[in-house]
Amino acid sequence: MEQKTILFDADGKVLGRLSSEIAQVLSGKDRVDYAPNVDNGARVVVINSDKVVLTGAKEKDKKYYHHTGYSGGIKEINVSDQRKKDSTWIIEHAVKGMLPSNKLAKVMMTHLHVFADDNHKYVINEERK
């Protein structure tokens, strides 16, 4: 199967709308030969992840949680601090939550490449704005 590389520019885009479009392309739902058990999605390159927009007061109110495994080991970080730490993780986390929860989702996530600026090494077949 032919696998295209599609470029998404996150500059000024809303996180949820961008992530849902990326998830559809990764899973191959935009193709006519879509099958839920086959990885026929495209390779996706996202640039300018540090310029993605969140609506409302989510920039300071939205929190990401994880647990270390120890008692009382719950950790939280808000979006503005995570953006300073690693802005690519915000998009990866949103897209992963929109993919199906199965073994194929791990393979689909390997086709997602997110960059904080506009420098990348991939040959682009199609550009989506």
pLDDT tens, position by position, 52-83: 999 999 999 999 999 999 999 999 999 999 99
For 94-126, give one letter per residue: b (16+ CB within 10 A) or e: bbbebbeeeebbeebeebbbbbbeeeeeeeeee
Report percent pLDDT > 90 for the chain: 89
pLDDT band at 22 (very low <50, low <70, confident <90, very high): very high
Instruction: Tell which wins on pLDDT, 64 or 3.
Output: 64
| Residues 5-54+86-128, CATH architecture | Alpha-Beta Complex (3.90)
- Give me the pLDDT at residue 1, please: 61
Q: What average pLDDT is seen over the chain? A: 94
Q: Which tens digit of pLDDT belongs to each residue from 29-45? A: 999 999 999 998 999 99
Domain boundaries, the chain: 5-54+86-128
| Phi, then psi, of 7 in degrees rounded to 5 | -100, 130
Least Cα distance to 77 among 98, 96, 93 occurs for: 93
Contact (CB, 8 A) for 20 and 95: no
Amino acid 49 reads S
β 74-78/63-67 pair status: antiparallel
Q: What is the mean pLDDT of residues 73-102?
A: 96
Give residue for tokens 């996150």. Answer: 10
DSSP classification of residue 14: B
Contact (CB, 8 A) for 25 and 6: yes
